[in-house]
Chain A
Amino acid sequence: MTTELHNVRGAGEAGAELAERAKALLAGGAVKAVLSWRRDLTASRLQPALFEDVTELGDLFIETEPGLNLAVYLRRAAVRGLFPVSIVTRPGDLRSIVVLVQEGQLKAEDVRPLLFDSDSSTILPGDTLAELLPWLRAHYPARDFEDGQMEAVTALEKLTPAERWAYWKDELSRCIRCYACREACPLCYCERCIVDLTQPPWLEPSAHPRGSLTWNLIRAYHLAGRCTLCGACQSACPVDIPLMVLNRMLAHHVLKEFDFAPGLDPAGPALLATWRREDPNELFR
């Protein structure tokens, strides 16, 4: 059964190991199910799948490209019913799980994550947050801003406000307010999203550019100090709005100005709910 796994996309040998690790957890009864991807020959891309039966694990694949973050399913009743579950993650995904724990949306013991690191294309040892956090902390946030990743941000920052405004006006004018970005984000878990609040109507619901501007602005703001740059929102966007440029810009400044990086400490503070006396004061006259 594992032989089939050798053609796992991008994962190479890691795929076999992953299946074994998942199998061990499932067979050993440590988890009731495994959240991963399944190759569906009829579909163009891998499909998210919940494996409850060891024998099905043969179809288990790793999506190595950034995209769907499986952590988004952890708030589904169907999945919660099967806690503890194992979940296959990339670093950004795993960090979003840490944030979920930190924000009381998930108990650490309910998930046994398996972490795939595409840089080394290996499955890291350990299947609990406690075991995996040291590795995350050793590589992040540094990796978030490695060469190249900040290019789009710095390029925009070099422009004049007017030019930036024109750029975003154009980009955001494509938004059709489908909220796919929200649905794809494991951290957009509000029972009632602010955009659905009608009294007062803080955000204009209609898809005119101003409404879309405020929506995208607030979406990014509500993820400040929380977004772990998994990329799910952008890959879910049907009109290719470069949401990650916003997210990464904020992540970068949050790190620079508050020395804060999310998703590395399940017991850590929430950026916007806390403060330090030495926070920068330049903005205020």
Chain B
Amino acid sequence: MSRVGVFLCLCGKNIGGTVDVTALGEAARQMLGVAHVEDATYLCSHPGQEQIREAIRTHRLTAAVVAACSPTMHEATFRRAAASVGLNPYLVEMANVREQCSWVHRDVHAATAKAIDLVRMAAARVLRSEPLYPLTVPVTRRALVIGGGIAGMQAALDIAANDQEVVLVERGPSLGGRMAQLSETFPTLDCSQCILTPKTVEVAQNEKVRLLTCAEVESVSGYIGNFQVTVRLRPRYVDAERCTGCGQCEADCPVGKSGMVRSEFEAGLPQSHRSAIYRLFPQAVPNTPVLDPETCLYFQKGTCQVCSRVCPTGAINYDDQPRTETLAVGAIVVATGLEPVSPGIYGEFGGGRYPDVITGLQFERLLSASGPTGGEVRRPSDGRVPQRVVFVQCVGSRDPAKRLPHCSKVCCMATAKHATLYRHKVPGGEAVVFYTDIRSPGKGYEEFVRRAIEEEGALYLRGRVSKVYPEGDHLKVLGADTLSGEPMPLTADLVVLAMGLVASPGARELAQRLGASVDEQGFFTEAHPKLRPLESFVPGIFLAGACQGPKDIPDAVAQASGAAAKVSALLARSEFAREPVIARVEERTCTGCRACIEACPYEAIEEVEVATAKGSRLVAHVTEGKCQGCGVCAGVCRSHSIDLAGFTDQEVAAQIAGASP
């Protein structure tokens, strides 16, 4: 039979001053199952804790109620004390008679009466409690990083630095992501490639990192510490073992010579083209070219085969096949990055129909020394050097009408950089910027924008552009200066749209495979907007970089390192313990109505078949690793066949009943 010990803390005068602890003690002695009552001035003190341990031993207590401060304050303290003398910590219940009683009521009589009820409720509850034991979940000590951009590479390198294995999966043919496409980076204007290349090389050479390119996550099962991930590898048609990266195939490919295929890496600039067998850019890692069957003459017309003829090592393999590989990992880092909104949805700017209205990313390529114009700013239409460039900000940002209400965060800085670099390259040229607000928080950012305005002489006009259309071989830009309240019609040679940023294509599908969630722009939702920004809702799946929201390079790198730290902490031990507060199903009475499955925010419940006298039936089954213990499932179960350990129906009912004398 259960013997509950009740421990009353006076907390100096904090409780004792308002609650008549003597009366409380007398009342407690009358309560069902209470075998022992004692008080102390400070139960949380060492002597106080010792007092509890002593009482548990001598009075052979089977459960304890501690009437003191808030459990948020000292529940852990008292549970540890009990555990140290062999009493299951989950059989220690606190009655919050300080924060929720003595501190909020002045009348001694009323406060005491309430304290008595609170202790009775706790005692009744703990009588119904059962011992619980921390769950231990085994951990596969290997991480998966999805996305080979700067964030993904940083995460992979940091995890590897902790001597833990990493598999880095990149959808494209090589590493680098968006950063590889940038010319210079704000606010320091150092060349993007130059600071990126060492990282890509480091990733490729790190023996703890396994790099899979042309690879996509196909399916994910399992849970924190124990994921099974199936990766699909597209054929590259080039044998990486044999390829020396000489580039002969690329050079001789007739598709390249014909110039009929625009380069995705060059953001589809009309001046740009690539071969059917190509590398995104010369320093690409891995340096093995990839053959694109969509544009390859051999795959399309069955002719050509030039690449295999010119390849000195016979590395070309037209029969290469797609394959899948299943990986066992303990943690996953999502670093799938972002993409610019398509200008196609902005008819007022020509919807992509006017060659000299280009996106910021295309302008980056025009500025880049490795770009199609060798770094000279030339108009796509006629190759002339534009004498006036109009930059339009917030195209696809802060635009609820296009269901893109968010600020894309980096465009203000990117535009200031574009204006600056344009002025450097075309000294006589005019840079006009239409902005909504200039947002430049970040080290040296505001100074950078000011420099663009004051030293580089970019003309900043606050207002949105309502329309752009060709007029002769110029562009008419119908802008407005909302500060002077005047319409600002301008003539320009080139218009650069600072396109808003959304999650990279496929993010939504990936989220579904991972069981994670994304917002309307496809950005992954973090577990808590303030306190858990590096975690997804799914335990063991972390977020790095722009997949969680628009970010500049330093932010992406910082978040990647943070996510990596969390991964390393998880992978540090071969198993990890967690609170045993999880849902459990009474299979005998579960009818398999699926309500709990639908209600679970974590996809932690599934249908399983159980044998019955009449054969078999489907019932709900909780995956311990996934369950977060919210109890929403228990709240919807009509037959109360699913319950929440630590907050069982029995415990809650007893606590409710305990509220009445």
Residues on A lying within 8 angstroms of B by beta carbon are 77, 103-105, 189-194, 197, 199-202, 222, 269-270, 272-274
Contacts and interface: CB of A to CB of B under 8 A. Distances in A.
B509 interface: no
25 contacts: A104-B593, A105-B591, A105-B592, A189-B591, A190-B589, A190-B591, A190-B638, A190-B639, A191-B589, A191-B590, A191-B591, A191-B639, A192-B588, A192-B639, A192-B641, A194-B638, A194-B639, A200-B654, A202-B649, A222-B638, A269-B598, A270-B598, A273-B595, A273-B597, A274-B598
A104 B638 contact: no
Interface string B606-634: 01000000100010000000000000000
Contacts of B607: 104
Given A191-B639, A192-B641, A194-B639, 18 more contacts: A103-B594, A104-B592, A104-B593, A104-B607, A105-B592, A189-B591, A190-B591, A190-B638, A190-B639, A191-B591, A192-B639, A200-B650, A202-B653, A272-B595, A272-B636, A273-B596, A273-B597, A273-B598
B647 to A, nearest CB: 13
Contacts of B638: 190, 194, 222
B599 interface: yes
Interface residues of B, number: 24
**Interface of chain A: mostly helix, strand, loop or mixed:** loop
Contacts of B641: 191-192
- 9 closest A-B pairs (Cβ-Cβ)? A200-B653, A273-B598, A273-B599, A190-B639, A192-B589, A273-B595, A103-B593, A191-B589, A222-B638
A274 B638 CA distance: 15
B636 A273 contact: yes
Contacts of A104: 592-594, 607, 618
B640 interface: yes
A194 B589 CA distance: 10
A38 to B, nearest CB: 27
B622 to A, nearest CB: 15
A20 B303 CA distance: 65
A195 B653 CA distance: 15
Contacts of A103: 593-595
A154 B596 CA distance: 34
Contact of A270 (B594, B653, B654): B594
Contacts of A192: 588-589, 639, 641
Contacts of B593: 103-105, 270
Contacts of A194: 638-640
A222 B640 CA distance: 12
Contacts of A200: 649-650, 653-654
Contact of A193 (B588, B636, B639): B639
Contacts of B614: 77
A202 B640 CA distance: 10
B640 A270 contact: no
A197 B640 contact: yes
A27 to B, nearest CB: 29
B248 to A, nearest CB: 56
Contacts of A189: 591
B620 to A, nearest CB: 10
Interface string B73-99: 000000000000000000000000000
Q: Which of B618, B639, B649 has the most CB of A within 10 A?
A: B639
Nearest to B651: A200
Given A202-B640, A222-B638, A274-B599, A191 B588 contact: yes
A103 B593 CA distance: 5
A43 B598 CA distance: 45
Looking at A189, A190, A194, which has the most chain B CB atoms within 10 Å of its CB?
A190
Contacts of B636: 270, 272-273
Nearest to B586: A192
A191 B592 CA distance: 10
A120 B63 CA distance: 68
A283 to B, nearest CB: 17
Contacts of B592: 104-105
Contacts of B639: 190-194, 197
Interface string B104-121: 000000000000000000
Nearest to B592: A104
Nearest to A223: B638
B128 to A, nearest CB: 8
B617 to A, nearest CB: 9
Contacts of A193: 639
Contacts of B597: 273
B646 to A, nearest CB: 16
Contacts of A274: 598-599
A271 to B, nearest CB: 10
A269 B593 CA distance: 12
Among B589, B590, B650, the one with the most A-chain Cβ atoms within 10 Å of its Cβ is B589
